[in-house]
Structure 1
Amino acid sequence: MDIKPFLDIASRDHSHLCPRQILGVRIGLKGMADLALQLFTKPKHLLIISETDGCFVDGVIAATNCTVGHRNLRIEDYGKIAATFINTKTNYAIRIAPALDVREKAYHYAPEEKRHYFAQMQAYQTMPDDELLTVQEIELNFSVEEIISRAGRRVNCEKCGEEIINEREVILEGKIIVSHALRVGIISEQK
């Protein structure tokens, strides 16, 4: 498959092309293929959870057409170049990441290139999937329905008064509050 159109999209949106974008494109394409989804569509029953942000995600977006705005891409930043692809109808899920030795392998695919960055740029575009990537079938330990939630659901935080959408509220001591407040601190009541 010619990945150049996807790399063009990723580099256009990011203003340059880098190895992580290429990995994002390759991982995105592999996820789409393994879940038997068509390219160049907006996958209706796909949820992707990226384990980092930045360049990598631009590549995933270019290959899958999934976005945070369409609520079929989530970013859980663990600082890892990896993504989980979930069929939201069946809950079948796979996690795809670069092979552990992928950086070293890059030199075998670009032997004339002595600079590791450029060796990766060349190699990641041509390496076979089975050498570039690891694919693991995983069992989800969370409810896909909770992540996707119900669009249009709205409540107001009883502490700060701000609107909470998509079932992201929590109940604390009988009051509806923003779940964010539990992680960073309770928001004081508006005056």
Structure 2
Amino acid sequence: MSTKCIQETTAFHGHWCPGLALGIRVAEWAVNEMGKSPDEEIVAVVETDMCGVDAIQFLTGCTFGKGNLIHRDYGKNAFSFYRRRDGKAMRLVAKPDLFGEKGRLLGRLHRKKLREGLNEEEARRLERTREEISTHIMEAPLQELFEMKKPIEPVPRKARILTSLTCESCGEQMMESRSRRFQEQILCIPCFEALERR
């Protein structure tokens, strides 16, 4: 991965961190195995919403707007890729305890930062540890970082363009597949949930 490509990915995301580095390496493996996706040929299913997903989007060409970047909120560092033309598929899962003691230290410092703040030495240690982990991710062999498995779901269907309906409560449009019926009314999800909570 070129320095320029890493810099562009970091600019797209907004900052450099271990999560982004992990996503860059996932994307590197995916592009090597599957190629890039100028349209919808490659599909990525990501099981997390962490920083690395931005790298996957930026580097693979899979995007939410094209419908070939799909988020499954499982909270796992696991990423599946599918190539539609020949059915090739793979799932990359970050290895457990990937960062060892440095990862545990990073977690402790992050939690302390959120709870009570860090002193200057702790803040420097946090940044140093983040950089050390990021460097390790970028330099390690891919097989040391991830386990390649078979995806847990079949290739997702292509994005569909559906009819839009108007919510009878707020007047905003939504895809037909996201509408809800409640007491003879067609509602968007937020209006349906608001009525259901009453």
TM-score, normalised to structure 1, is: 0.70
Alpha-carbon distance between aligned partners in 1 of 2:161 and 2:5, rounded to the nearest angstrom: 30
Write 1 or 2 for the structure with the bigger share of helix: 2
State the match for 1:7 in structure 2.
6
State the match for 1:138 in structure 2.
151
Q: Secondary structure at the match of 1:95?
A: strand
1:155 is aligned, of 143, 153, 165, to: 165
Alpha-carbon distance between aligned partners in 2 of 1:84 and 1:166, rounded to the nearest angstrom: 28
Deviations 1:37-73 (A, max 9, x none): 24xx524222222222242122212321222233322
Deviations 1:99-151 (A, max 9, x none): 113213989xxxxxxx532221111112111111112112427x833xx5422
- Alignment RMSD (CA, Å): 3.3
Q: Secondary structure at the match of 2:15?
A: coil
- Pairwise CA distance, 1:187: 7.7
Structure showing greater radius of gyration is: 2
Alpha-carbon distance between aligned partners in 2 of 1:75 and 1:22, rounded to the nearest angstrom: 19
Establish whether residue 128 from structure 1 lines up as the match of residue 127 from structure 2. no
- Pairwise CA distance, 1:180: 5.2
Alpha-carbon distance between aligned partners in 1 of 2:93 and 2:3, rounded to the nearest angstrom: 21
Structural mapping, 1:62-77, within 5 Å = 62-77=58-73
Q: Secondary structure at the match of 1:33?
A: helix
Establish whether residue 186 from structure 1 lines up as the match of residue 198 from structure 2. no
- Supply the AA of the counterpart residue of 1:163: Q
* Gapped regions of structure 1 (runs ≥ 5): 108-114
Alpha-carbon distance between aligned partners in 2 of 1:175 and 1:90, rounded to the nearest angstrom: 44
Establish whether residue 116 from structure 1 lines up as the match of residue 129 from structure 2. yes
Structural mapping, 1:48-87, within 5 Å = 48-87=44-83
Q: Secondary structure at the match of 2:44?
A: strand
Q: Percent identity?
A: 23
State the match for 1:112 in structure 2.
none
* Gapped regions of structure 2 (runs ≥ 5): 104-127
Contact 1:22 1:124 in 2 (8 A): yes
Alpha-carbon distance between aligned partners in 2 of 1:66 and 1:97, rounded to the nearest angstrom: 18
Alpha-carbon distance between aligned partners in 1 of 2:102 and 2:5, rounded to the nearest angstrom: 20
Establish whether residue 165 from structure 1 lines up as the match of residue 175 from structure 2. yes
- Supply the AA of the counterpart residue of 2:160: R
TM-score, normalised to structure 2, is: 0.68
